Amino acid sequence: MDMPSLVFKGQSIFSRKERLPFLLQKNGVKSMECKALIDKLNAEKTLKKDEWIYLFENYTEDDRAYAAGIAQKLSIDKYGKRIFIRGIVEFSNICKNDCYYCGIRRSNSCAQRYRLNEEDIMDCCAEGYETGYRTFVLQSGEDGAWGAERLAKLVCQIKEKYPDCAVTLSVGELEYDEYKLLKQAGADRYLLRHETANREHYQKLHPGEMSFDHRMNCLRQLKELGFQTGAGIMVGSPFQTSECLADDMIFLGEFKPHMIGIGPFLPHKDTPFRDEPKGSYELTLFLLSLCRIMLPNVLLPATTALGTINPRGREEGVLAGANVIMPNLSPTAVRKKYMLYDNKICTEDSTADCRYCLQARMKSIGYEVSITRGDYSE
């Protein structure tokens, strides 16, 4: 530990724990402590709950830059200066759930609902393939008309036509047999953010009919079935505390997802959280770095929400350790309707616009876009 030591006759007069509060009075020592915790995370790949809380409550801009430096190096060691791209098709905004934060929640009567069919989705994939995507992400609300059987048939169709591509699903909570069917149909990956690993917090973000245990069980089942599995959170969601974030980091460290989706919470004007403040951009970047340090091989997107809260969000996300970007492949006509939060970026652009804009953005920071499936590897 790189700390000034109080030495008396060759021995420290205080144990580390005792001398901490004393030293914390002095300028700069908090920062030194945070760096020591970041080093510890890098060495041991885990921190204790009180250490996580300490880090979230005391980190400075300097600590954030320190973590980003380590994270970016780990990302380059593992994946090089190459960014994996995933084309996301938001194929339905119809949802049976009523999550308080989400713009496509069932009770939002202002949302103009839409549902793409098989042909629409295949067209998006065709355009995506031409522009260099080798992963298609199909995301939607929990739409009963797109049940597991119908979706499984579509997955088969996509995999038959594009055997060199990965298919990722992000359609929410299903039952084990349904996930199994989708896996057998050839789906490779599944994104299901846990949203929060703190049960009380979960209950403040979701109505009573939704279950923390069910969502967490889904994640375990997905992993057991052999999906490359993605968890994740919104940073700064209402009622989130440092303790919640500590619980998230501990959960992620134990569950070891293959992918972690982290973006700032952004309010949507037609939800109960319309007046809640947005999440912190800097804290989101810091969390990306901490996830990379804890799980060096993880597939870590610089999310659309990060690009929405700051125009350089996706570039800075990559510089903080992210290695994935997920541009939109949805038809421009429906993009504005898949509004999870206000002011979502890229809703006016075409698939080709997004693809080349992204390439230029990555080039501007010395990275290139990789035209591969971009699978997880140990």
Provide the binding-site residues for ligand SAH, judged by CB under 6 A.
101-102, 139, 141-142, 170-172, 192-193, 195, 234, 263, 265-266, 268, 305, 340-341
Q: Which is nearer to ligand SAH, 260 or 266 (CB)?
A: 266
Residue 43 makes CB contacts below 8 A (sequence gap 6+) with none
Q: Which is nearer to ligand SAH, 170 or 351 (CB)?
A: 170
Minimal distance in Å, beta carbon 266 to ligand SAH? 4
Q: Name residue 191's beta-bridge partners.
A: 230
Minimal distance in Å, beta carbon 267 to ligand SAH? 6
Q: Which is nearer to ligand SAH, 75 or 139 (CB)?
A: 139
Q: Which is nearer to ligand SAH, 37 or 291 (CB)?
A: 291
147 CB-side CA count, 13 A: 6
Q: Which is nearer to ligand SAH, 154 or 305 (CB)?
A: 305
Minimal distance in Å, beta carbon 290 to ligand SAH? 18
d(CA 287, CA 298): 13
Minimal distance in Å, beta carbon 104 to ligand SAH? 8
Minimal distance in Å, beta carbon 23 to ligand SAH? 38
